[in-house]
Amino acid sequence: MNRKTTFSAIGGYQPFLFCIGMYFVALFFSIFICSAIFYAVNPKKSNLAGESNRASQKTAMISSQQVVMTVAGK
């Protein structure tokens, strides 16, 4: 009896494709982790305490002003 054996073409490439997939997953996570570490060491200047105090002072100055509203009747 003659046996006909057929193999899927993708089966031979499975370890290669797995390694490429894991490389891209590791690359994605390494970029995410490195950027998180970078922003933890070098915070943005808007997150500093001095900036938040200035913003609250502006809000306090605006809230202390009077608002006058007139309604015109027809």
pLDDT at 52: 53
15-45 pLDDT, tens per residue? 999 999 999 999 999 999 999 999 999 988 7
Q: What is the per-residue pLDDT for 72?
A: 73
Both tokens assigned to 70: 């007139």
**In sequence order, which residues have a C-beta less than 8 Å from that of residue 51 and are 6 or more positions away?**
45
pTM, rounded to two decimals: 0.44
DSSP symbol at 46: G
Percent of the chain residues past pLDDT 70, beyond the cut = 53
